[in-house]
Amino acid sequence: MYSVPQHLFTQVCVIVDKLGKLSREEIEKELISTGLSSEAVQGIIEVLSLKSLSKLEEVLGSGVEAVADLKKLFSLAEQYGYADWICFDASVVRGLAYYTGIVFEAFDREGELRAICGGGRYDRLLSTFGTEDVPACGFGFGDAVIVELLKEKGLLPDLPRQIDDIVFPLDEELEGPASSVASSLRKKGRSVDLVEDKRLKWVFKHAERINASRLILVGKSEWERGMVRVKILSTREEFEVKAGELQ
């Protein structure tokens, strides 16, 4: 509508994405600095500040493909029963390099945190990785925002790390045998933490920190005899066991 040249399209969209984060005056100033006319700046801000799909249709007309796609999406959402969970926002901007259709972002209902996730439709992304294009839709999300929400709602579970055994090779050349011991224990259903490239003092502190049950040391002299040294961390009991008989 306002003849924004192609070479300014991405730059203008990045500025528009700041709606709600910066004041209108700041947005106007940034858009004018790109070389757009005052009329174009006012029009773009007005249209992309709309929160009503029907009002967007009044401005652009019903024959525009974007309007038709959005109307279909909201119609499907109504039929699927989750229309109450979505709302229209013309200012949403995401990675313009590969999105080819509707884009979306998800927020907490209070709107106090940044986006939980964001994504959209992309029809020509896969060819950039050397394969045939397949129409697709995807999104990415941040664990930090979800954790904050869970904390706020009192729903963050207490999941203490539970490790049965720590396996530690006393020499670099024993890392292979230590890996073999760890793999064998895991196959028997044990939860194992294989630690390498650390000092023994650090390993003992690490074991206490994660409340491990046993520390299994793979030493050169023991391994030459087919043995490993086992330390029961709760009782400090220490003994040797044949590597193949370790349970």
DSSP sequence for 97-126: TT--S-EEEE--TT--SS-SEEEEEESSSG
If we measure between CA atoms, which residue out of 209, 207, 180 comes closest to residue 193? 207
**What is the Cα–Cα distance from 222 to 214, expressed in whole angstroms?**
17
Q: Which pTM was predicted? A: 0.63
Nearest to 166 by CA among 120, 125, 202: 202
> Where is 231: in which H helix or E strand?
strand 227-232
Q: Report pLDDT for 131.
A: 87
pLDDT (tens digit per residue) in 38-60:
999 999 999 888 889 999 999 98
Whole-angstrom distance, CA of residue 188 vs CA of residue 167: 15
pLDDT beyond 70 at 130 = yes
Check: CB of residue 122 under 8 Å from CB of residue 99. Answer: yes
Distance, in Å, from the CA atom of 43 to the CA atom of 14, rounded to the nearest integer, reads 16
CATH of 163-242 among 3.40.190.10, 3.40.50.800, 1.10.260.40, 3.30.70.260:
3.40.50.800
Which tokens hold the place of 210?
């994660």
Nearest one of 97, 45, 51 to 70, comparing CA atoms: 51
Query: Which residue, among 136, 142, 190, has the nearest Cα to 166 in the 3D structure?
Result: 190
User: Could you read off the pLDDT of 87-119 as tens digits, one per residue?
Assistant: 999 888 876 678 889 999 999 988 888 889 999
Domains of the chain, by residue range, sit at 110-156, 163-242
By CB neighbour count within 10 A (0-12 exposed, 13-18 middle, 19+ buried), where does 166 fall? buried
Alpha carbon distance 35, 37 (integer Å): 7
- Residue 128: pLDDT band (50, 70, 90) is confident
